[in-house]
Amino acid sequence: MPRLADRLRLSYGQKLFLLASVPLILAAMAIALLVAAQSRAMAERELQSLETRLIEAKKRELRNYVTQARNGFYFIYGSASPDDEAAKQQVMQILAAMIYGDEGFFFVYDYDGTNLVSPRQTHLINRNWWDLTDGNGTPVVQEFIATARAGAGYVEHLWPKPTTGKEARMITYVTSFPSWRWAVGTGVFIDDVLASVAASRAEVQARVQRTFVYIGAITLAALLSVFLSGLFLNIRERRLADAKLKELTQRVFDAQEEERGRVARELHDGISQILVGVKYALDIARRRVLQGGDGAAETLEKGIGNLSEAIHEVRRISRDLRPGVLDDLGLGPAIKALTDDFRARTGIETRFETVVFRNRLDQDAKIALYRIAQEALTNVERHSGATEVVIDLRGHRSGATLRVGDNGQGLERRDGPRPGIGLRNMQERMDQLGGTLRVLSSRTGTVIEAVVPLTHMLPPEDGTAPTRNRRRA
């Protein structure tokens, strides 16, 4: 299970890729669904409108056919009596002859359901079709007669096509000859209209599918762009990180070597020479004691003085490496001791000002501010040419601030062996604490200001517990 969890744990680059790709995929899906829904709805409305217009055109055409046919023999029907069989035969002959196109014809049914005229389907003539129904169960002849009794109208039904014998959708216009009790009409098949609408609907569906494909292709291209860009940036950032890591490692090594060299010089130039002097003094005193001469006590006294000086040098070097007063008394006394030592060693007028803290700094913040003050004084001593230095340390509502100002020549005119390394060290210490470092430099001096955030302040009643993991104020 731990191995599986390790495999499922995402790297930073994978999380960044998901953060960029998931919203893109969701947006593309939403756009595709919205476009598809709107396209289908719009196309369906247009197709329904097209189908309605085509069918209405067919209906008007049928009505014109029936009206023209009725006008053609109305002079016969209008002057004939209800039982004028000769007139009926003459009208039936006219209607039987009125065929058009490949499948158009007129039909006549009496009100009892008997077919009187059907020129393209003669097997229907003189037979009663009252109970005839189509494939959908519609009583077609009864619908014809009911529409004729109502005056006139349209009937939509299925009917066998004369050319194929198979049922197809048909619209029929029926009118009546009420005195003869006839239902007269003609119809037109609309399967071509339905086929055209179905083809248009299929084309719309194909367009929607192509739209999905296009959106998918665009999304895939965008994802590939994001992936390749992320890969490029990841490689570039990794190279930069490696370069910075190498640079930082080299700087750490350089700082270690520099510190080791400084300690070695301190030991060689100071303590080593003092101890050599002590050794010579002890040798001289030993010889004088063995020879029984005078002056042994004076020589021992001088050796003891040299030994005390060596002890003082050891303490100074130890204080520079890790001042004990920082742990014992706090940051203020440690910087005060650093200031006094700097004034005594360099002769530069140095003042230290501070305000009593209501809260105390945690250990990391104390070390960082002490090292920044130490580095700033080192830069003043080596490069600035200043005659006065002011160090100010105080706490406030936002945390704590250390300011080191001098009246030297400014950073622009300093020429050190490793320019900028001290400032980079200060900046890195502040970055680790989440604080800020400002450097204000001019020809009249330099001010270095380090601000530690409130998260590194301890309440007075908790002087030892770290607050690194506490919630930031």
> Is the model's pLDDT at 5 over the cut of 60?
no
Output the CA torsion sign for 149, 151, 155, 161. positive
Q: What percent of the chain has pLDDT over 70?
A: 85
How high is the pLDDT of residue 248? 74
216: Cβ contacts below 8 Å, ≥ 6 apart: 28, 32
pLDDT range class, residue 128, cuts 50, 70, 90: very high
In this prediction, residue 130 carries a pLDDT of 93
* CB-side neighbour CA atoms (13 Å) of 455: 10
Q: Tell me, yes or no, if the pTM score tops 0.85.
A: no
Per-residue pLDDT band at 472 (split at 50, 70, 90): very low
Mean pLDDT score, 217-236: 78
72 pLDDT higher than 80: no
Residue 10 pLDDT: 65
Confidence (pLDDT) at 462: 47
Which among 142, 165, 168, 136 has a CA at the least distance from the CA of 155? 142
Q: Go through 376-402 and write b for each residue having 16 or more CB atoms within 10 A of its CB, e for each that does not.
A: bbebbeebbebeebbbbbebeeebbbb
Rounded CA separation 434/313 (Å): 36
Tokens of 115: 């077919």
DSSP structure string for 167-206: EEEEEEEEEEETTTTEEEEEEEE-HHHHHHHHHHHHHHHH
* Predicted pLDDT of residue 331: 82
Q: Residues near 399 by Cβ (< 8 Å), separated by ≥ 6?
A: 435, 451, 452, 453, 454, 455, 456, 457
Q: Which residues pair with 392 in a beta bridge?
A: 353, 403
Section 228-245 average pLDDT: 80
Domains of the chain: 108-189 (3.30.450.20), 331-458 (3.30.565.10)
The arithmetic mean of pLDDT across residues 65-86, rounded, is: 81
Measured CA to CA in angstroms, residue 303 lies from 123, 273, 296, 314 at distances of: 149, 12, 11, 16
- The answer to whether 134 and 167 are in contact (CB under 8 A) is yes
Choice between 240 and 295, residue whose per-residue pLDDT is larger: 240
- As a residue count, the chain comes to 473
In sequence order, the 6+-apart residues with CB closer than 8 A to the CB of 267 are 317
pLDDT of residue 358: 52
pLDDT digits (tens, 9 = 90+) for 168-219: 888 899 988 888 999 999 888 887 777 777 777 778 778 777 877 887 788 7
The pLDDT, as a whole number, for residue 83 is 86
Q: Quick one: average pLDDT of 443-454?
A: 88
- Tokens read off for 42: 């719009």
Q: Residues 243-259: what's their mean pLDDT?
A: 76
- pLDDT > 90: what percent of the chain? 12
User: DSSP readout, 22-67?
Assistant: HHHHHHHHHHHHHHHHHHHHHHHHHHHHHHHHHHHHHHHHHHHHHH
Confidence of residue 416 (pLDDT cuts 50, 70, 90): very low
pLDDT tens-digit series, residues 256-279 = 777 777 677 766 666 777 777 777
Q: What angle, rounded to 10 degrees, do the helices at 191-266 and 421-433 form? A: 120
- 264/81: higher pLDDT: 81
**Roughly how many angstroms between the first and final C-alpha of the chain, as a whole number?**
38
Higher pLDDT: 458 or 244? It is 244
Whether residue 473 is predicted with pLDDT greater than 50 in this model: the reply is no
pLDDT at 144 over 60: yes
Question: Which of 58-67, 162-171, 286-295, 298-307 has the weakest average pLDDT?
Answer: 286-295
DSSP code of 359?
A: S
Phi, psi (degrees; rounded to nearest 5) at 167:
-70, 145
Residue pLDDT, tens place only, 340-393: 888 888 888 999 998 766 557 888 888 888 889 888 888 888 877 888 999 999
Average pLDDT over residues 409-438: 74
pLDDT-derived band at 17, boundaries 50, 70, 90: low
Strands (E), 78-214: 106-110, 115-117, 152-160, 167-177, 182-189
Q: Give the confidence band of 143 by pLDDT, cuts at 50, 70, 90.
A: very high
